[in-house]
Amino acid sequence: MHQDLEFSLERPMGKGETLIRNTRFVWGSRTYVMGIVNTTPDSFSGDGVGRDVETAVAQALQFEAWGADIVDVGGESTRPPDYYAGSEPVSSEEESSRVVPVITALASALRVPISVDTSKAEVARRAVAAGASMINDVWGLRRDPEMASVAVETGVPVVLMHNQDGTEYDDLVPDVIGGLLGLLENALDAGIPEEKIVLDPGIGFGKTAEQSLEVLRRLDEFRSLGRPILTGTSRKSSIGKVLDLPVDDRIEGTAATVALSIAGGADIIRVHDVREMVRVARMSDAIVRGWSEE
């Protein structure tokens, strides 16, 4: 791992551009906002719309109006089953039945690209056929052996997240960076072009609250990977533990993590509270990237 990590630190810092649907994302120009649409009955955030396509479309259209750059549609809760009660895996058929009708309806309603949040190849394949333009996989193409092939066949960009069973690390941040480098190289070996890969350090996945906070604190070290970075901190349990607040009362905590993620180099923030976090992102960008009245 340490040899791979040394290689990663020599990667070029430029991140270039990525075409998602018909929108060109210029990395480093500003922070992009991904709004979350949960088509689940057991979303940890309590905002799942289930099979109500009309409500999901209205939510996504509102996100777009508020300034979201991507809408991320998921049909299976990814909350840890040992931390939150009631999260159960679902079949590809069940997950597809939740996301595909929503994506089909959104494809003709939205101007911004649609991402599908799934680790199942068949769900991803059906979602892209329905109109999704990106695959967001919390297992980094590792849970389903066919997922990389789907990404190559469909030609859509992918988000690869660091995740693991358990929270044991030799050296947290170097280990997570090394893990992301492995995901990146596996994707490249499978034939996915580098410009179509976004990396996510996986806040709250295979990490304790303390570890998640350390990853955020040292997010600038992930720039060495040379790819755009997505952070998903919205309403996470680490915020709840620090502030001792329930999931529906973590907006200020989320705002703090979003602002500091941007200061650390995040290119995309994945959030539930789109209106508020778009404003946080714009203000953070003005400070971090510069701003002028002209």
**Catalytic residue status for 270:** yes
Active site residue 236: yes
What are all long-range contacts of 129-136, with beta carbons under 8 Å and residues at least 24 apart?
Answer: 130/100, 130/103, 130/104, 131/103, 131/104, 131/106, 131/107, 132/73, 132/103, 132/107, 132/156, 133/20, 133/21, 133/157, 134/20, 134/70, 134/158, 134/159, 135/159, 136/72, 136/74, 136/161
Could you say which of 270, 275, 282, 289 is catalytic? 270
Q: What is the dihedral of CA 29, 31, 34, 35, to 10 degrees?
A: -130
Amino acid at 202: G
Q: Token digits for 149?
A: 């092939």
SS3 136: strand
Among 79, 125, 235, 236, the active-site one is 236
70's tokens = 């991507």
Active site residues: 236, 270
